[in-house]
Amino acid sequence: MSTLTGNIENRFWKRLGMAGFAFFLVKGLLWLAVPVIMYLMGIAD
């Protein structure tokens, strides 16, 4: 019983870790992309 709950917990934390990693990756890309997009839009005007 304890091993089953342990496996579920490990899977949950692994999924949570992947979600957090993806979130920070997207956040970092947006942080880099937004100034570039604004710069390009400024040139376009």
Q: What is the pLDDT of residues 1-45, one digit of tens each?
A: 567 777 888 899 999 999 999 999 999 999 999 999 999 999 876
Q: How far is CA 23 from CA 18, 26, 29, 37, in A?
A: 8, 5, 10, 20
Cα gap 13→41, rounded to integer Å: 41
Would you state the pLDDT for residue 1? 56
Q: pTM of the prediction?
A: 0.54
